[in-house]
Amino acid sequence: MAALLPWGAAEAGKGKGKKRRTSEFSGHNAAKSSLRTEPLPKPSGEVWLRAENLGEEFKGNIYKPDGSFDDAALAKLDDMFRCTQTGEVRAVNAHLYEQLSRIYDHFDGKKVSLVSGFRFAERDSSRHFHASAMDIKVAGVSINELYKFAESLDMGGMGIGLYPTSQFVHVDFRAPGEPSFRWVDTSGHSGKKKATKRSTGRTQPARKPTS
């Protein structure tokens, strides 16, 4: 099992005069012993999210008073998670929104910034393509602290990545049967791409807002 390398760790070339190459990515499967064994508490459902690339914001609850999901709230979040390149909207894994609410609760109601959500133009092996991933940061919270807390939410099947250069944390739910995964990426990937206006020909939102 490979271990996470220190940020910017250099790989020394063999022989005199060879350049030192910097490793930009390092990752490994999370040890089962490191995963959470206690059930996750139900979050408040409160979410305060700002989509950086869209300049849009949502502050509300993903649950109805009876504790079931509020489809209208989920539809609004789905729209904020839309692909900024194509305008495509997909129904995001609702468990991801619950993790988002747990993060909001843990960090005392600080606003969460969405760097990237659903990406239709992404390779199909990416959890972003499957509307099951988010790149986020929290106002006033270090990415190391956010990363550590995100790890504490993993009961299995989650991917959590640290992006120290771009200053965000990636959180996803893996495909069924896949092990949890951890990584550090110092490549400088920002997730920021020019937002595309939704065209009339695009796929309709997977969830239609209801009153």
In a domain? residue 32: no
Which residues of the chain carry a pLDDT beneath 70?
1-22, 189-211
CB atoms within 10 A of CB 211: 3
Specify the pLDDT at position 2: 43
Q: Domain span at residue 168?
A: 44-185
In a domain? residue 167: yes
What three-state secondary structure class fits 91? coil
In a domain? residue 65: yes
In a domain? residue 117: yes
The domain that contains 103 carries what CATH number? 3.30.1380
Specify the pLDDT at position 206: 55
In a domain? residue 210: no
DSSP β-ladder status, 46-51 and 112-116 = parallel
What are the CA-CA distances from residue 11 to residues 5, 158, 170 (Å)?
A: 10, 29, 25
pLDDT digits (tens, 9 = 90+) for 102-121: 999 999 999 999 999 999 98
Specify the pLDDT at position 205: 47
In a domain? residue 83: yes
Domain count, the chain: 1
DSSP string over 133-153: EEEEEETT--HHHHHHHHHHT
Specify the pLDDT at position 202: 36
Specify the pLDDT at position 211: 32
Q: 134, 163 in Cβ contact below 8 A? A: no
Which residue matches tokens 């239709």?
Answer: 120
pLDDT digits (tens, 9 = 90+) for 147-161: 999 999 999 999 999
Q: 188, 166 in Cβ contact below 8 A? A: yes
Give me 82's structure tokens.
């839309």
In a domain? residue 2: no
